[in-house]
Amino acid sequence: MTLRPIEEQLARVLAAVRPPALERVPLAEASGRVLAEPALARNAVPPFDNSAMDGFAVRFADVADAGPEHPVTLRVVADVPAGSALDPAIGQGETARIMTGAPVPTDADAIVPFEDTAGGLADSLASAVVLAAPRRRGVHVRAAGEDVAAGSEVLPAGIRLGARQLSALASAGIAQVAVARWPRVAVVATGSELVPPGQPLTRGTIPESNSLLIAGLVAETGAEVVLRRTVDDSGDGPAEAVALAAELEADAVVFSGGVSAGAYEVVRQCLGDAMEFTKVAMQPGKPQGFGTTAAGMLLFGLPGNPVSAAVSFEVFVRPALLRMQGVIESARPAWRLPAGESWRSAPGRRQYLPAVIDRSDPARPVVRSASGGCSGSHLVVGLGGAEAYVIVPEAVTAVEAGDLVDVVLL
Ligand code: AMP
Ligand code: MG
C-alpha cells in the first residue's frame, strides 16, 4: 500500500475545521486569545503632542541661536505637569516648565531639557537660561498620532494576544476585543496495559503518559481540555467518550493508541464508521485515524507510542486547533543547523526526530537526537529533553554529521 503524503492528510483535516466562533472579552481577560477582527485605534497614540523630556517648552525661534557663549534667558510663565490640561500662552521670550508626558502648549514648538539650561530643575520656576539650541523645531516633542492614527489598525485579526499586544490595544483606547472562542478538546488514551502514573506496575502494565502529553500540547496550542480519560481495549470506551465529549460541546476528540494494525485496536473497531484509518508517509506516526461526527466534531486517532503521538499532534492536531482559533501564522520558528551526528531515516517517509541543540561551541550549534542517537518512537523519556524536531525529507535515507538539516523549535 502506498503511503499518503502528509500534506494530503493535513488538507483533509483542515478542510473539516469550521471557522471560529467569536466572543467579546475585556482586555484583562484576553491574554492568550486570538484576535478575531482587526483592532482599530479609538484614540491616536500618542493622543496629543507631549513632551519627551523634563524641561521647558519653548518657541524654537527664541532659542535657535543659544549656545554656551551666548545663553538665552526666558521668563517662565507656567508649569505644566503630566496630566495637566493647561495650555498657557507663551509669548516671545517666554517659556513654560514642562514634565515628560505633559501636553506641549500650542504656542511652543520645541522642548529644552533641564540638562541644557544653567539652572536645571533646581532653578526652574522664574527663569530658564538656555545654553544649547534645540537641533530643530519639534525636538523632544512626541507628535500626536506618531505611533498610530485614530481609526487605524493596531493589530490584524489572527494575532495571539500577549503582554505586548494587550498594551498596544490598551494604549489605543480599546477596552474589549472580539476573540475566537477557546476550542474545547477531549483527550482519550486507549490501552488495557495503562495504569495511572505512580500506581504499582504488575507484569504487562505501564504508566499512562499520553493523556498528559496530549492535554499539555492542547493547552500549549491555546485550547481547553474538557475531558481527559483512559479507556481499555475491549468494549465501547471510545464511543462512550465521543458521546460524553459531544455533551461537553467539545470541538475535537484526540485519541491515542488503538489505531494501527494489531488485533485489539479499539478506536478502529469502535469508530470505524466515523473515522478513516490510513497510513501516512511519516516516521514516526504512520498509522493515523481521522474523521468527524455528524455534528462536525473532529475525531483524531493518533498512534499510541508516545513519540508518535507527540509528532502526530504537531503535524495534524496543532494546525487544526490553530485554525479553529483563526490564527494566521501557525508555522513555528525554523532553522537550518548542521547535524552533530549521523543517523538513518526510512525511505519514502518524512522523519520527525526529537532533538536537542548542542551549544557547546556557541559559534557553531549542532543538532542531535534527544535520545542519544536512538530514534525509537517509544522513547518517551528522551522526548522529555527535546527542544526541537529535526525534519528529514522523504527522499533522504541517511543524515551524516555536518549535513545541514531543518530544525523546528518547540
Ligand atoms: P498502540 O498504538 O495502541 O498499539 O500502542 C503503541 C505503543 O504505545 C504500545 O507500546 C503502548 O503500550 C504504548 N502506549 C499506548 N498508549 C499509551 C499511553 N497512553 N501512555 C503510554 N504509552 C502508551
Ligand atoms: Mg494500544
Contact 299/253 with Cβ under 8 angstroms? yes
Within 49-110, where are the H helices? 60-63
Q: Which of 138, 131, 143, 4 is nearest to 58 (CA)?
A: 138
| Distance, CA of 313 to CA of 218 (rounded, Å) | 9
Pairing between strand 39-40 and 404-409? unpaired
Bond preceding residue 113 cis, omega within 30 of 0: no
Please give all residues whose beta carbon lies within 6 A of any atom in ligand 1, as ranges. 189, 191, 193-194, 206, 208-211, 256-258, 260, 262, 303-306
* pTM reported for the whole predicted model: 0.93
Q: Confidence class of residue 373 from pLDDT cuts 50, 70 and 90?
A: low
Query: Degrees (nearest 5) of the Cα angle 317, 218, 370?
Result: 80
245-280 pLDDT, tens per residue? Answer: 999 999 999 999 999 988 999 999 999 999 999 999
Instruction: Spell out the domains of the chain, with CATH numbers in brackets.
Output: 6-20+181-324 (3.40.980.10), 24-43+152-180 (3.90.105.10), 50-142 (2.170.190.11), 334-409 (2.40.340.10)
**Interacting residues of 299 by C-beta distance below 8 A, sequence separation 6+:** 242, 252, 253, 255, 271, 274, 275, 289, 290, 291, 292, 293
- Alpha carbon of 191 to ligand 1 centroid (Å): 6
Q: How far is the CA of 117 from the centre of ligand 2 (A)?
A: 79
Nearest to 389, CA basis, from 318, 302, 303, 301:
318
C-alpha span between 144 and 155 (Å, rounded): 19
| pLDDT per residue as tens digits for the range 61-118 | 999 999 999 999 999 999 999 999 999 999 999 999 999 999 999 999 999 999 999 9
Cell readout for 217 is 500540547
Nearest Cα residue to 248 out of 194, 301, 322, 182? 182
153-208 per-position pLDDT tens digit: 999 999 999 999 999 999 999 999 999 999 999 999 999 999 999 999 999 999 99
Catalogue the E-assigned strands of 54-167.
55-58, 72-80, 94-98, 110-113, 127-130, 141-142, 153-155
Ligand 2 centre and the CA of 256: distance in Å?
A: 8
Closest ligand to Cα 310: 1
376: confidence class by pLDDT, cuts 50, 70, 90: confident
Check: CB of residue 377 under 8 Å from CB of residue 340: no
The alpha carbon of 305 and the centre of ligand 1 are apart by a number of angstroms equal to: 5
pLDDT at 410: 94
CA distance 225 to 298: 14
For 182-193, the pLDDT digits (tens) are 999 999 999 999
Q: What is the identity of the amino acid at 289?
A: G
